[in-house]
Structure 1
Amino acid sequence: MNMSHEEEADDYNLSLSKFESMLKTNKVFFFDSEEFEDIILHYMDTGRLSLAKKALRLGLEQHPKSSGLKLVHVEILIYEDKIEQAEKILNEIALLEPTNEEVYIQRANICSKRDQHEKAIDNLFIALKYTDDEAEIYSMIGMEYLFMDRLELAKENFIKCLEQDEEDYSALYNVVYCFDFLDQNQEAIYYLEKFIDKNPYSEVAWHQLGRQFYAIKNYEKAVWAFDYACLIDEGFLGAFLEKAKSLEKLKRYQDAIDCYNITIELDDPTSFAYLRIGKCYEKLGNNEEALNYYLKTVHEDPLLDKAWMTITDFYIKQKNYQKSLYYINKAIGIDGENPLYWRRYANINQFLNYFEEAEAGYRKAFEFGDIELDNFLCWSDVLYVLGESSAAIEILQQAADLYHNEPEILYRLVGLYFNTEEEFNAIEGLNSALLIDYHKNYILKDLFPNVWENETVQRIIKNHNI
């Protein structure tokens, strides 16, 4: 008579309780070998290796010839990197039971540990001949191919696994991972739709389908797929989050807020949800609620520098530079090597006419890897305001090495060369700038009006306009 899952679970829990009672009382109870295997594997799965080894020793005392227990012993030895000892036991079992699939599975595990993935796969294909659980073997073959970065073959084997066991969600995640890695979003959508035809109540498949639609920017379809995932599993936090993100992309900000609020009800509030709700309110023009949620974000996670940055930008948009300076300093306090934060710090100080602090900010941004054109331009402009024209020239020359023939750089250099009385360089530079982009000569007019009015400069400009 076949037992139900509930009966099996009851028997398993009874065995476990009986074993733990035996350890406490020092009485010796009898267990059949399969009970011992389940007990040992339970302790291994829960990371209690010493109890697993104790159960193994007692099991082998009661069942010294049990190949199942010997194979569990092999598993423990592999886990402990005692490979030679494990191989010796495997060879003994193989002589007595050459068709035991577990021998080949464990040999595959040993090969995999040695990075001999081809050999591992060979052993797994042998195991396939003798197994009743093809799904597990195909999944293991898929993992070996993943280790070798052979994504197509990995995908093929995970698909075979799912053909045998449609509820193996880890295999489903791995199939989608392969599609993603191979940039095969359309193929993934086709596969998942076929999978859903057979398994319409698979919330994981619907969720993964939504992610694929999101990846190809089909946000309407993404919301549709996530909706099904949420209907099948009303506690599916990830599906609600990604549905909310898709709604944001569709500019359905109030719907997105409602969806993020569901995630807050399902689990403890997260700084991510608060931050996104704040951004949605800002998009709706409700600045009061936006700020309220941004402050909730930093209260929930004071070390989330991205949130401090968001509040900084919020105040910049309102031209409240003093407050934005306070908040950018918070972000820098958490991540002092982020070039974006230093550039924003410099921008704010420049708005406030704190030019020395601004110069320090642009320099820091550069030191931490910011080689964007804007950073070089703003940095040189601030140095010029501080009367450090030679330093500004040096910065722009570095920029010119990265951004060849960039008019924004060339016209600035012209102005600076005139101001440092390097007239030859200035005239040569002006001719080059006018040839590359005549119409951007307004840069010279805006930034260096004294140079613009110079007779020589005006004559050169007129000559180029003929």
Structure 2
Amino acid sequence: MALDSNEYPDKSINKFESMLKTDDVYFFDAEDFEEIIHHYLNLGKISLGKKAIQIGLEQHPNSLELKLLQVEVLTFEDKYAAAEKLLDEIQHIDAHNEEIFIQRANIYSKQDNHEKAVNLLLEALHLADNSFDIYSLLGMEYLFMDDYKHAKESFMKCVELDDNDYSSLYNVVYCFEFLEDYDGAIHYLNDYLERNPYCEVAWHQLGKMYYAVDMFQEALAAYDFAIISDDTFMGAYFEKGKVLEKLGRYNEAVENYETTISIEDPTSHAYLRIGKCHEKLGNTDLAKYYYYNTVHEDPLLDKGWLAITDFHYNQQNYKKALHYINKAINIDGENPLYWKKAAKTYIALENLDEADFAFKHTVDLGNYELDTWLGWAEVLKRLEDYNSSIQVLVQGLEFYPESSELHYKLAGVYFRNKETLAARENLVKAMHKDMEQLESFKEEFPEFKKFRWLQLLVSEVKKTTT
């Protein structure tokens, strides 16, 4: 009885590798060569895949399937001209082979011409009997083009064709999320669950959508159904823990996080969440224990180092906070969040020169948040380096031109730097943007209270805004 290659998938591969080790030449069916080539390409063993294509075409020179696999390898190696030439030859023989259009689309996609790739895939769709893979490729091309509406529709087609295609299901939900259509995602997932009531993946995604729109009780119910469908689904327990945290049910949240640890090896993220819960419950020793476990489990997890630093900072143990944030900087000195936390800790320790240095690193590494500019300018103001403080605030306004806080602070610093005209100009801008912050400004710069012209300025601004 002949052996079925699908029943013994390794047989042809072992036979091929045996042939390569000897001078013998074995004959294979074209289908066997396809199996061998796919095996090597899937493993990333391109040279062996190319060898199999070469021998395969020697034995089966008219096999279009082997030639199409050769096109795939040529495209992978960026040999587009050779791939196109071979596709022209194949198309001359079989003009209605959808794989030709798929391979041409792949070439255009690799050259970032995604619109052309989409058009070719749409042509392939008209020729194909099985459209599943084409819809999947279309979805990815639309994602490359940031066309989330059409990407969503393509991945929906994949799910229609195969309810168990969870990769496409995830992509559908991703598109809904990007479009901020959470209601649409909830409706779609509920429809899907009508057909597949025990799909833990869909329940899990539904829980995340409910969480996104603050429907926490519904999210809890969705995660419970995910757990009923698969009681080893770690993600459902973890996400359920986050919802329980949000609801202030910290002990229950801890139970769910601990379940994730019992299902699989402990993760730094689970330790971190447990630590946060214990800190909220006032269990400082347990919080500290889990924070230490977090950074031990994953020394590169920035949230872990920030949590342990915040823990000591909140306990007003600033020296210990500084010790841990410096330890984090030694591990990853390119992380702007570490430098920003260091800056705040130096401020608490009244070490303003080091705070200035840390803020500079924070900005140099790409953190341009509003409170970064305000914090740095405040440090420089306290150091009485008014020119530098002005420079920082002006730079901050490039990112946040509508910020009244930056304008108020800039007005005050300009005044202290004896640049009265610039101070008045920025103060007017600030008041136009937010008059309510004027009292805070007076507290920060009390010298303004004694100037009668400030009251006149306020009156003028109020007239123009009413």
> Quick check: 16-25 or 39-48, which moved more?
16-25
1:362 and 1:378 in contact (8 A); partners too: no
Q: Give the superposition deviation at 1:145.
A: 2.5
TM-score w.r.t. the length of structure 1 is 0.80
User: Partner amino acid for 1:30?
Assistant: F
* Aligned length, in residue pairs: 443
Identify if the C-alpha distance between structure 1 residues 355 and 104 changes in structure 2 by more than 3 Å, giving closer, same or farther. Answer: closer
Q: Give the superposition deviation at 1:463.
A: 11
Pairing of 1:130-145 with structure 2 (within 5 A): 130-145=127-142
Distance between the aligned counterparts of 1:324 and 1:236, measured in 2? 36
- The answer on 1:28 being equivalent to 2:22 is no
Pick from 109, 119, 124: which aligns with 2:121? Answer: 124
Pairing of 1:42-191 with structure 2 (within 5 A): 42-191=39-188
Identify if the C-alpha distance between structure 1 residues 78 and 424 changes in structure 2 by more than 3 Å, giving closer, same or farther. Answer: closer
- CA deviations on 1:345-400 (whole Å, 9 max, x unpaired) are 344344444454445545655666465265156415632xxxx4xx2476268648
Q: Give the superposition deviation at 1:320.
A: 1.8
User: Partner amino acid for 2:14?
Assistant: S
Give % identity.
47
Distance between the aligned counterparts of 2:392 and 2:17, measured in 1? 72
Pick from 212, 216, 236: which aligns with 1:215? Answer: 212
For residue 225 of structure 2, what is the aligned residue in structure 1? 228
Q: Give the superposition deviation at 1:282.
A: 0.8
Q: Give the superposition deviation at 1:413.
A: 5.4
Structure (1 or 2) with the larger CA radius of gyration: 1
- CA deviations on 1:136-156 (whole Å, 9 max, x unpaired) are 222222223333332222222
Identify if the C-alpha distance between structure 1 residues 175 and 39 changes in structure 2 by more than 3 Å, giving closer, same or farther. Answer: same
For residue 275 of structure 1, what is the aligned residue in structure 2? 272
For residue 37 of structure 2, what is the aligned residue in structure 1? 40
Q: Give the superposition deviation at 1:47.
A: 0.4
For residue 395 of structure 1, what is the aligned residue in structure 2? 389
Question: Equivalent residue of 2:7, what SS?
Answer: helix
2:342 and 2:355 in contact (8 A); partners too: yes
Identify if the C-alpha distance between structure 1 residues 19 and 238 changes in structure 2 by more than 3 Å, giving closer, same or farther. Answer: farther
> Quick check: 400-409 or 183-192, which moved more?
400-409
Tell me the C-alpha RMSD between the 2 structures: 3.9
> Quick check: 364-373 or 177-186, which moved more?
364-373
- CA deviations on 1:255-307 (whole Å, 9 max, x unpaired) are 22222223323333222221111111111111111100111112222333432
Structure 2 residue runs without a partner (length 5+): 398-402, 458-466
Structure 1 residue runs without a partner (length 5+): none
- The answer on 1:18 being equivalent to 2:15 is yes
For residue 239 of structure 1, what is the aligned residue in structure 2? 236
Q: Give the superposition deviation at 1:46.
A: 0.7
Distance between the aligned counterparts of 1:412 and 1:119, measured in 2? 57
Distance between the aligned counterparts of 1:327 and 1:424, measured in 2? 43
- The answer on 1:286 being equivalent to 2:283 is yes
Pairing of 1:324-339 with structure 2 (within 5 A): 324-336=321-333
Q: Give the superposition deviation at 1:97.
A: 2.6
Distance between the aligned counterparts of 1:179 and 1:315, measured in 2? 40
Question: Equivalent residue of 2:8, what SS?
Answer: helix
Pick from 184, 198, 201: which aligns with 2:198? Answer: 201
User: Partner amino acid for 2:173?
Assistant: V
- CA deviations on 1:72-113 (whole Å, 9 max, x unpaired) are 222222222223333333333333333323223223323333
- The answer on 1:262 being equivalent to 2:259 is yes
Q: Give the superposition deviation at 1:176.
A: 1.9
For residue 348 of structure 1, what is the aligned residue in structure 2? 345
Q: Give the superposition deviation at 1:202.
A: 2.6
TM-score w.r.t. the length of structure 2 is 0.80
Identify if the C-alpha distance between structure 1 residues 392 and 28 changes in structure 2 by more than 3 Å, giving closer, same or farther. Answer: same
User: Partner amino acid for 2:140?
Assistant: M
For residue 443 of structure 1, what is the aligned residue in structure 2? 443
Question: Equivalent residue of 1:10, what SS?
Answer: coil
Q: Give the superposition deviation at 1:8.
A: 6.5
Q: Give the superposition deviation at 1:33.
A: 1.1
- CA deviations on 1:2-22 (whole Å, 9 max, x unpaired) are x9xxx7643322222332333
Distance between the aligned counterparts of 2:386 and 2:145, measured in 1? 51
User: Partner amino acid for 1:41?
Assistant: H
For residue 464 of structure 2, what is the aligned residue in structure 1? none
Distance between the aligned counterparts of 2:64 and 2:441, measured in 1? 86
